Each structure stands twice: as C-alpha cells, then as structure tokens.
Chain A
Amino acid sequence: MYRYDEFDERFVRERVAQFTDQVARRLDGSLTEDEFKPLRLKNGVYLQLHAYMLRIAVPYGTLNSRQLRQLALIGERYDRGYGHFTTRQNLQFNWPKLRDVPEILGLLADVEMHCIQTSGNCIRNVTADHFAGVAQDEIEDPRPTAELIRQWSSAHPEFGYLPRKFKIAVTGAEADRAVIKAHDIGLRLRRHPDTHETCYEISVGGGLGRTPMIGKVVRDYLPKKDLLAYLEAIMRVYNLEGRRDNKYKARVKILVHEIGAEEFTRRVEAEFAQLDGPSINADPEEVARIAAYFAPPAYETLPAVSNTLEAAKAANPAFARWVEVNTVPHKAPGYTALTISLKPQGQAPGDATSEQMRRVADLAERYSFDELRVTHAQNLVLPHVRQRDLFAIWQQLGEAGLATANVGLVTDIIACPGLDYCALATARSIPVAQAIQSRFADEARQREIGPLGIKISGCINACGHHHVGHIGILGLEKRGIESYQITLGGDATENAAIGEILGPGLAAEEVPDAIERIVGVYLAARAEGESFIDTIRRIGLAPFKAAFQETARAAA
C-alpha cells in the first residue's frame, strides 16, 4: 500500500499545525463561530447530538495493522473504547473532546493518517472497490488513481469552498462494489475497444440524499494521462455554476439535472479544451511512482484449492458455511479475500471495539501481508489470505466475536448512526437494524434467502444509502413519532437503481413484519437460483406492494 514520502509527511504535519492554530484563533475570538465551523468540518470535527464526533479518513478503505492499532489506541484513550466504520470507508469516533483533537491528529499523523476533508463543502475522502488488487474481475487496480486523487484534492486552492460536499469513487472491475453511480463523480477503469488501453469512464451527478440520482456518463473513454485536467474542468464548471441559493439543491447532481447531462458535458468539454494538460496532469513517472506501491504482494505459489481448507470444511460445517458466505475468489491461486462481518446480532452495524481492532490488526499482520480494507458496507476485509489459514483465522475471529457468517445476507445491514448519535437524524436506525437482525437470526434461513441488502437511513440525507438498498428503510418523524418508509428494488452495483416506495410509513415495531412479508413474496415467486433483486426485476413491484399493504392494514 501507499507510503508517505517526505512531502506527504510534511503536508500532514503542517495540516495538524494549521488546525491547532485555527482552534487557537477561534478561542481568542479572531474567528467567529460561523467562520470556524467550515474549518473544523474540513478536518472531520462535527458537533453531534451529545458530543463532538471525529471522522478519520481511511483513504479508499485501505489500512495496515499499525494504523488499525493506532485507531484502537485512540478509541481507548480518547473515546469509549470503540469506533464506527462508515459507509464511506472512514472511521468515526463519537465521543472525543474538542480539546483532544489536535493530539489525536498528531497520533494519526504518526501512522500516515489524517482527517483531511472528511466533511465540509469540499472534495471528500476518495473511496474505491474494497477488493481492489485482488478481485478476479478487475481490469486495473483503482487504488493508484484513488491515491493520486487523494493528493490532488488535498487542500486544493480552487475547490475548497464548493457549493456543497463532493464525493468521488473509483472502481477498476466489472462489478461495481464502490457504488460509483451514487457519487458526484464515479470513475471506472476500462479498456478501450480499439486501442486496448485502460481509460476512465466518467460519470457525474450521482448522489443520494433527498433527491437521489444515478450518475450520468460524461466521458466514455478518457485517456488516463488526462485525469487531473479533466477533473479540474468538472470541478470548475461545478464551482462556478452549481447552485448556492439553496443547500438542498447545491450538489452537482442538481446542476446536471437542471441543465441536462448533454449541456453539462458540453461545458466540461469546453473548459477541458482550454486547459493545458501537461501543466496540470501528473507526469507518467509520478503515476508510476504511486502505482508501484500497489504492486501485488509476494504470493506463494499454491494449488488453486487447498486440501487443508477442504478437510477443515468437511470436519466443521459451521466453518464451512462461514467460508462459503464470507470469502470471495482471489486473483492468486490458493488465496482468498475474507470479509469480516461487523454485523453480529445486537450490535450497532459497523462498530468495532478497540480490542476487536487489535485482533483484526494481528490477523492482518500475520495472515494478510499486513493489509486490510474497510468496505462501504461497514465491514472489514483481509484481502490476501491463504485458504489453508482460514480455519485458524476463523477460530481467532470467533474468540473476538467477529466470526458472523452473514456477508451480503439479510442481516448484513448498512445503517447510519441515526437518532442515537446524529444531530440531523429524524429517527433511530440502529434499533431497527437490530430488530431485523433478531427476526432473521437463523443462519440457515439467511442462507436460504440468499443475497439481500437492507440499508437504513435515519433521515432524508441518506447516509445509510437506503435508496440503493434492495430493501431501503428511511426513518422519518411524523408528528413526534418515528415513521419508517420502505423502498424496494434499489441497487448499488453496476446496475444502479433507486428503490421505489412501497406504501405508507410504518412504526418501528412493524418494520420486521413488513420485511418478512416482502421476503415471503420473493421466496414464493423466485425461480431456481434467482436472487432477490433479480426476482424483483422480473416480476415487478406489484406483488410486493400488495403484501406490504397487508402489513400496513394489519398495523392500522
């Protein structure tokens, strides 16, 4: 993975000093609260319901064991012994003291980490496919691109005061695991059909929130060397023309929608044509310098199938089920990419204790070339595990309460912090997630249902990505009572789609019943081997709506 050079190191240290100075200027009155707020947001410091929250950037979800141990230490020393992994592959601490923040930033800088632009109206932390570098369907590793963008977007002099936040995601595979179509800019590495060179497909104007939109492709094949100039052109058009009169209409998706994708593309291309690419883009040697950090680790030559693994699976059915659900095939024979579920029964989705972080760090160091990933689904990944080590890993995860076999299944729920923590929330998310998990606790039943993504947001801002959940749940507040709106048919992959509302809102305690009925319709209607989302695509929403109405009536 990427390592800081002297320039990166100095930059992050200077950022810590800058923020420390900003806090001092707020305290002595040089800066007003209004002036200070965007500055602290750009450093990931939010004022939450009960306390400040600190959001730490995990660039494109990549961590090493030293970094994760440092996060564990910070959680213990400055928080309540745990942290929360987010849908943008970051880590949040919910209880730090403002006065401790500069010290925490120093500890982060010690392990090449920071909180730069994890919030505020600027280019946010870049996200990427969590199986980057290991997925069998990968055309090119997206991490060098993501790292180049991380550097380019850090303290950008022109794009630090945008109309609204701006999120970029990168994938280099055929399957989209980075939800690129729900980002302000989505980049997909792909081969040009004629030249066979890798290029970028560029989508703009995706986003969730109160006006969900799927990104529109503005360039089918952008040569890789032109990336930064093209991004500059997009950002300049948005910075100049994005709406600033209404924060709810300020995202680039609204601009793209209002003037049309064609006109937006025309303006970007016109700006791009004015730019002197060579004076803006990173030169090929710089791109190669970054890419070299992401060279594959020194894999052993192994048989494609491990007899040790097969024997352990045969002897231990629970282990076999966990392997089946939580691992995916790897580029290197004999290896696998293992997802560690942070969705055990009865816990807040995405939370990990400091003790658990240390356990995962130890495993990454011993079994996964010291590397791990954070997924947008709020789980962790050991990306390069020898198949024959899986049994030992499973046992050690089990001791730490981390061996839940539910990745991609109905209980692997994405949920925002909701009203339990968040100042914006209109309803609770975590207890609803827990109630659904408890209803579908039977693991055999979960596997029988198969891949099904439930995503829960506690307000219209959609941090829980409910619009793109196969089943989406949006918590609202109606006359002082929490009300949950259910959507169906959303999709976060390369077939990105926004879910449709099934009917009137439900009370929290009615939600598990409604999910049960929806699942019932699917199980009755599905063809052999057909997944939940494919059944919806085939039969449409009508049968689900009918079943949903029954829940609503039964509740009334």
Chain B
Amino acid sequence: MPLLDRTGSAEDRWTRSEGAAIGNIPAALVPWEVLVEALDAQEAEQVIGVILPNSVPFLALAPFLPRLALVAITFPAYADGRGFSLARQIRRAGFAGEIRASGPLIADQFAYALSCGFDTIELPEANAARQPVPQWLHARDSFSATYQRGYGETDRNILDQRRAARTARPLAAE
C-alpha cells in the first residue's frame, strides 16, 4: 500500500507476516494478536513491528515497546480519531521507533497526525489515487502555527512564539 512520510512518498521496508510466521523477514510487521509469539521467534538481525487496533489500551502495548521498531495504528475510518491519542501516549512513553497511521486517512489529517507523533501514513490504493501526494504536502502546511503546546515543533506554536516575543521585548518596551 502507498506510504507517505513528512516529506512525501516513502519506501516501505516492512513486510506483513502471515500470522506469527515471521521466518527470516528482515522487518516483519505482525498482527497484535500474535505479537507475543512473533517476539519469541525473533532472530538477532530481525526487527519487528506491530499492527495495533486502535481499541487496544496503551497499557497493554507498553510492555512490548522496547522490543518494537514500528507501531502501525489502524484507522478503521478516518473519522475514528482514537489513533491520535494512542500515538501521543506511545511517544510520551519515550518510544523512538516509527509510528504509522494505517487506514483511509485524508490529507487534512496529515498535520494532525505528524503533530501527534506519527511518522508515516499508509493508505489504501484507492484513497492514495484520489488524493495525490502534493495535496498531502499542501495540507500539511495549512497552518503556519497552531495553539496547542507540546504538539510538534515549538517554533510553530503560537503560545511559544508569543512567549519568545515577550522575552525578546522586555516590559520596558511596552
């Protein structure tokens, strides 16, 4: 399926396993239900990622995070926003691997996804065909700055920019 990262089209180095059978797949993406089994079979050179239904509580996933290189959170529908909160919780726990949103997202969610900690978006073919990459990149930059602190870069946060302006221009100037 087509994959996007912050900069546009991306190569997908991950291979979906058949159930728990990861064989010698170098980067194996396995269903949540068989994660324990797959980790048991993991070889030294192998990296493992999990396809995580968005109904799984973060606390159930947390113990496995140190052994995962990718968490692919499913979006059953684009309007089902649970994945945004899950990604936040995963990042907060210090996970440094890749977080992927997998499902029929729309370009207008790209900036939100990146701000919440996603690295990549994996789209069904038909959705990707309707919404070409330039639309995603355009939507990514819809807002030059946003209001919520702690999401994304501070130089694109309005409250942080106001604070910076206050520091640069001490009270005497007002």
What's the least CB distance linking B78 to chain A, in Å? 7
Please, how many angstroms separate the alpha-carbon atoms of A541 and B130 in the complex? 60
Interface assignment of B106: CB less than 8 Å from any CB of chain A:
yes
Q: Which of B3-11, B30-38, B63-71, B137-145 binds A?
A: B137-145
* The one of A5, A157, A159, A244 that contacts B111, using a Cβ cutoff of 8 Å: A157
Compute how far the CA of A22 lies from the CA of B139 in the bound complex, rounded to whole angstroms.
9
Tell me if A22 and B108 are in contact (CB < 8 A): yes
Interface centre among B57, B109, B162 (most CB of A within 10 A): B162
> Would A161 and B148 count as touching, CB distance under 8 A?
no
The listed residue (A11, A161, A285) touching B81 by CB distance below 8 A is A161
Instruction: In the complex, identify which listed stretch (A27-35, A390-398, A461-469) lies at the interface while the others stay far away.
Output: A27-35
The B127-164 residues at the A interface (CB cut-off 8 A) are 130-132, 135, 138-139, 142-152, 158-159, 161-163
Q: Which of A17, A155, A158, A283 contacts B84 (CB 8 A)?
A: A158
Q: Which of B85, B130, B166 contacts A285 (CB 8 A)?
A: B166
Smallest CB separation, B17 vs chain A (Å): 27
Which of B109, B112, B131 has most chain A Cβ within 10 Å?
A: B112
Whole-angstrom CA separation of A161 from B148 in the bound complex: 16
- Asked, given contacts A7-B145, A10-B145, A158-B84, whether A279 binds B150 with beta carbons under 8 Å apart, the answer is yes
Q: Contact at A5–B162, with CB atoms within 8 Å? A: yes
B162 near A11 with CB under 8 A, answer no
Over the window 101-136 of chain B, the binary record of Cβ atoms lying under 8 Å from chain A Cβ atoms (1 yes, 0 no) is 000001111011101100000000000001110010
Task: Please determine whether B147 and A157 come into contact, CB atoms closer than 8 angstroms.
Answer: no
- With a cutoff of 8 Å between Cβ atoms, the chain A residues found around residue B162 in the complex are 5, 7, 286, 289
CB of B92 within 8 A of chain A?
yes
Q: Bound complex: CA of A352 vs CA of B51, how far in Å?
A: 54
Which of chain B's residues has its CB closest to A150's CB?
A: B147
Contact partners of B57 in chain A: CB under 8 A: 240
Q: Judging by beta carbons under 8 Å apart, are B166 and A157 in contact?
A: no
Picked from B85, B115, B142, B150, the residue with its CB within 8 Å of the CB of A240 is B85
Q: Do A154 and B81 touch (CB < 8 A)? A: no
B86 at the binding interface (Cβ < 8 Å): yes
Does A282 lie within 8 Å of B78, measured CB to CB? no
B88 at the interface (CB under 8 A from A): yes
Q: How large is the interface on B (under 10, 10 to 19, 20 to 34, 35 or more residues)?
A: 35 or more
A279 lies within 8 A of B149 (CB): yes
For residue B162, which residue of chain A has the nearest CB?
A286
Give min CB distance, A164 to chain B, whole Å. Answer: 11
B115 contacts which chain A residues (CB < 8 A)? 157-158
Contacts of A29 in B (CB 8 A): 130
Q: Mark A31-43, 1 if CB is under 8 A from B, else 0.
A: 1100100110000
- Nearest B residue to A36, CB-CB: B106
Distance in Å: Cβ of B96 to nearest Cβ of chain A: 18
Q: Known contacts being A7-B145, A240-B82, is A283 close to B163, with CB within 8 Å? A: yes
Once the chains bind, are B81 and A151 in contact (CB under 8 Å)? no
Task: Choose from B79, B84, B89, B159 the contact partner of A157 (Cβ within 8 Å).
Answer: B84
Alpha-carbon separation in the docked complex, A281 to B116 (Å): 17
Chain B contacts of A195 at CB under 8 A? none
B130 touches A30 (CB 8 A): yes
Kindly provide the distance from the CB of A38 to the nearest chain B CB, expressed in whole angstroms.
6
**Contact between chains at B148 and A285 (CB < 8 Å):** no
A239 touches B85 (CB 8 A): yes
A17, A32, A283: which contacts B142 (Cβ < 8 A)? A17
Using A30-B135, A157-B115, A161-B79 as known contacts, say yes or no to A7 and B161 having CB atoms under 8 A apart.
yes
| Residues of chain B contacted by A289 (CB below 8 angstroms) | 162
* B55 CB to nearest A CB, Å: 9
Q: Mark A214-225, 1 if CB is under 8 A from B, else 0.
A: 000000000000
List which A142-161 residues lie within 8 A (CB) of chain B: 151-152, 154-161
A12–B115 Cα distance when bound, in Å, is 19
B108 cross-chain contacts in A, Cβ below 8 A: 18, 22, 39
Out of A160, A228, A239, name the residue touching B82 (CB < 8 Å): A239
The reply to whether A161 and B84 contact each other, CB–CB distance below 8 Å, is: yes
For the complex, what is the distance from the CA of A30 to the CA of B135, rounded to whole Å? 9
Chain A residues closer than 8 Å to B147, beta-carbon distance: 11, 151-152, 154-156
Q: B80 an interface residue at 8 Å Cβ cutoff?
A: yes
Q: Once bound together, how far apart are the Cα atoms of A159 and B146, in whole Å?
A: 14
Given known A11-B143, A39-B108, A280-B150, contact A30–B85 (CB-CB < 8 A):
no
Please state if B81 and A159 are interface contacts (CB–CB under 8 Å).
yes
Q: Which residue of B lies closest to A10 (CB)?
A: B144
**In the complex, chain B residues whose CB is within 8 Å of the CB of A15:** 143
Partner of B78, one of A161, A236, A280: A161
Question: Is the beta-carbon distance between A157 and B112 smaller than 8 angstroms?
Answer: yes
**How distant is the Cα of A154 from the Cα of B158 in the complex, in angstroms?**
12
Asked whether A157 lies within 8 Å of B149 as measured between CB atoms, the reply is no
Nearest opposing residue in chain B for A161, CB measure: B81
Q: Which residues of B contact A228 (CB under 8 A)?
A: 149
Give Cα A279–Cα B159 distance, bound, in whole angstroms: 11
Residue pair A161, B80 in contact (C-beta under 8 Å): yes
A239 touches B148 (CB 8 A): no
- For A154, list chain B residues within 8 Å (CB): 146-147
Contacts of A18 in B (CB 8 A): 108, 139, 142-143
Tell me if A197 is interfacial: C-beta within 8 Å of chain B: no
Q: Are the CB atoms of A155 and B143 closer together than 8 Å?
A: yes
In the bound complex, residues from chain A placing their C-beta under 8 Å from that of B166 are 285
CB-CB contacts below 8 Å: A263-283 with B:
274, 276, 279-283
Q: Note all chain A residues with C-beta closer than 8 A to B88.
A: 158, 236
Q: Which residue of B lies closest to A228 (CB)?
A: B149
**Beyond A151-B147, A152-B148: 15 further Cβ-contacts under 8 Å?**
A5-B162, A18-B139, A21-B138, A25-B107, A30-B131, A32-B130, A151-B158, A158-B148, A161-B80, A162-B81, A239-B81, A239-B85, A244-B80, A274-B92, A286-B163
Closest 5 CB pairs of A and B: A161-B81, A157-B115, A157-B112, A7-B158, A18-B142
Binding site for B on A (CB under 8 A): 5, 7-8, 10-11, 14-15, 17-18, 21-22, 25, 29-32, 35, 38-39, 121, 151-152, 154-162, 228, 236, 239-240, 244, 274, 276, 279-283, 285-286, 289
Give B residues with C-beta under 8 Å from A: 57, 78-82, 84-86, 88-89, 92, 106-109, 111-113, 115-116, 130-132, 135, 138-139, 142-152, 158-159, 161-163, 166
Could you pull out 6 A-B pairs where Cβ atoms are within 8 angstroms? Answer: A25-B135, A30-B135, A157-B115, A157-B151, A244-B82, A283-B163
